[in-house]
Amino acid sequence: MRKERLCSGKCGSDACGSGNRVWVLAASEGMAALYEKHRNGELTPVMFRKEASAPLIGDVSIFLERAATSGDFGQLLLVGSPGDISWMLLSLPETVTQKVVAEVKYPLLAAWFGKESGLAPLRQALENVLGN
């Protein structure tokens, strides 16, 4: 893992371009959701194929590899249980894992990744854990 400071966005500088954008990848029991962390601490979902959550292996992994290669984000924060984080690191391509700057070990409920929940509970939990 790279030794680099996670961009907090507190400086308010316009120097933070797409290369410094922070994405948050949350996973539980094989399901993943991806968010962009904004300067004010708010998280907005990054959609893949019109879905806010999907299995990590497949669409999410491919989407992240393309985004990492094209420079759509500069830093990636992983959130999940220790087992989920290990699984993410083993499952993601190297071009993606090179962008990981932090791992937050926090168990997430698999039910939060379902379409029925609308991911609102997951977003709220992540914003609370990451501290706006």
- The answer to whether position 7 is within a domain reads no
pLDDT, position 53 = 85
Asked if residue 118 is part of any domain, the answer here is yes
CA angle at 71 for the pair 3 and 17, rounded to the nearest 5°: 80
Is 5 a member of any domain? no
Determine, yes or no, domain membership for 76. Answer: yes
Lowest pLDDT segment from 3-12, 101-110, 118-127: 3-12
**Residue 58 domain-assigned (yes or no):** yes
Q: What pLDDT does 64 receive? A: 94
pLDDT at residue 107 is higher than 70? yes
Give SS3 for 8: coil
Please check whether residue 6 lies inside any domain of the structure.
no
Any domain includes 2: no
Q: What is the pLDDT of residues 5-61, one digit of tens each?
A: 444 444 545 454 445 799 999 999 999 999 999 988 899 999 877 777 888 888 889
Number of domains in the chain: 1
Query: What digits encode the pLDDT tens for the residues 66-89?
Result: 999 999 999 999 999 999 999 999
Q: Are 80 and 105 in contact (CB under 8 A)?
A: yes
pLDDT at 3: 44
User: In this structure, is residue 25 part of a structural domain?
Assistant: yes
Give the range of the structural domain holding residue 99, as residue numbers without chain letter: 18-130
Q: Residue 39 burial by CB count (10 A; 0-12/13-18/19+): exposed, middle or buried?
A: middle
The encoded tokens of residue 26 equal 């949350």
Per-position DSSP letters for 87-116, written without gaps between them: HHHHHS-HHHHTTEEEEEE----GGGGSTT
CATH of residue 123's domain is 3.30.420.60
